[in-house]
Amino acid sequence: MKIACIGAGYVGGPTMAQIALKCPEIEVVVVDINEARIKAWNSDTLPIYEPGLTEVVKQCRGRNLFFSTDTHKHVGEADLVFVSVNTPTKTRGVGAGKAADLTYWEGAARMIASVSKTSKIVIEKSTVPVKTAEAIEKVLRRNCSDPAVHFEILSNPEFLAEGTAMADLEKPDRVLIGGKETESGARAVKVLKSVYEHWIPEERILCANLWSAELSKLTANAFLAQRISSINSISALCEATGADVQQVAHSIGTDSRVGPKFLSASVGFGGSCFQKDILNLVYICEMLGLKQVAEYWHSVVLINDYQKQRFVERIIDAMFNTISGKKIAILGFAFKKDTGDTRETPALDVCKGLLGDNARLNIFDPKVTREQIFTDLATPKFEWDHPGRSKQPQKTDSVTVCDDPYEACNDAHGLAVLTEWDEFKTYDYERIYNTMMKPAFIFDGRNLLDHDKLREIGFIVYALGKPLDPFIQKAYS
């Protein structure tokens, strides 16, 4: 058996590396038209950071795991073809700002059809709208010149969390495979299931029809994001009443019907999927005439935007209603710890909000590159996931990207924690305090730090969703 995966990104690379590790008898090839990305996958410095990924790739690469730009050759030879290409939010035309742009998926389907001389199982790994399989099947059938070639479409959505992707692949909560309820569909499901059964217990491999599998991915992300927006909405109420959002979250999280996961209040959710998938879900509901359902899910995104804007306004208000010309240190730019991914990171909107009030920013993140930060700051909303976007970082005099956290905090009026990197808890904050302008503010957007200790040092602390510091309360009165 030979597997090809179109797309060497955050999903395709780690997933195929895990399959190659667990299925040494299967040849696995990850293909991508991006030469620089493939070159990185074949080097000692992989294009993405994920704990445990480098070790797996080095163990399998050259044995049964390969990375190539020769898409036609390897897709043509494959028995199973995973498609893991971008499905970004449309930026123009019908559905702009909500609908998924399937340009790259359709292009992949046309390419698969044009090079196929044997029947193939084509597997949706990208997050796609419901009924995408139906459209893709039509493209495949109409663009393959050999009538003897048969395509079976499966949906096999990923449920990976960045920062723990390799652990999620090793011991997933479930693997979902959706196929047509036909004999050929059942056979295709059985083939893919046999791959996962190399290391995953059968009871964790769930089978469904195509449409249920496609919708399950959108729904899963919507539910997770909903929990974050729910606790973030309560964080605003806690600040207004003097309650502590962490105590509230702990209290409700001990209820077995609720559970403790995704109840950490923060400056907002990010990542490549949550907002994109919810907006896609909203658009589908609107197109089907389900207005109230669409409005319900859209409110999850609106609360997320509100939380980021609220954080910016807290900073401005606390610092005497002006941050013009003031230096603010930003600790963390990735959307979460243990990843270098900045897609839809809440740090981006916070930074843009502060820059909009003419602040000067010193940004430090242990895994995000200087080039990535400047590129993100210059990229219009929803354009980050479009391969055709400009990759040239545009530097500005108002932003400095630092290689050292202490350098970032030097002479700063305020410090904002925007990513929950564990190392941020270990810094010498007394040293940082002594180098900052006074009064020295800390705005903890992740409730990561020891706030009592920081106040003992002399910091004015804003902790999201917690009783307001008396100094800040005065600023608001």
Per 3-state DSSP, the chain is made up of helix, strand and coil in percentages (nearest 5) of 45, 15, 40
Q: Which of 218, 325, 345, 213 is nearest to 271 (CA)?
A: 345
Q: How many helices (H) and strands (E) does the chain have?
A: 18, 14
Contacts of 193 (CB under 8 A, 6+ apart): 177, 205, 207
What is the residue whose two structure tokens read 């990185």? 40
Give CA–CA dist 17/401, Å, rounded: 33
The rounded distance, in Å, linking the Cα atoms of 463 and 456 is 15
Give ∠ CA 170-173-174 in degrees, rounded to 5.
95
Phi, psi of 312 (to 5 degrees): -60, -45
CA distance linking residue 159 with residue 127, whole number of Å: 10
Measured CA to CA, the distance from residue 381 to residue 205 in angstroms comes to 37
The torsion of the CA quartet 228, 408, 356, 420, rounded to 10 degrees, works out to: 0
Q: Does the active-site annotation cover 273? A: yes
For 19, 22, 118, 439, 458, the CA distances from 434, given in Å and listed in that order, are 51, 52, 69, 11, 10
Amino acid at 235: S
- Residue that has been written with the tokens 């899963």 in this structure: 220
Q: Which of 273, 285, 351, 402 is catalytic?
A: 273
3-state SS string for 4-53: EEECCCCCHHHHHHHHHHHCCCCEEEEECCCHHHHHHHCCCCCCCCCCCH
Residues 6+ apart with CB under 8 A from 4: 29, 30, 31, 74, 75, 77, 78, 80, 81, 82
Positions marked catalytic? 273
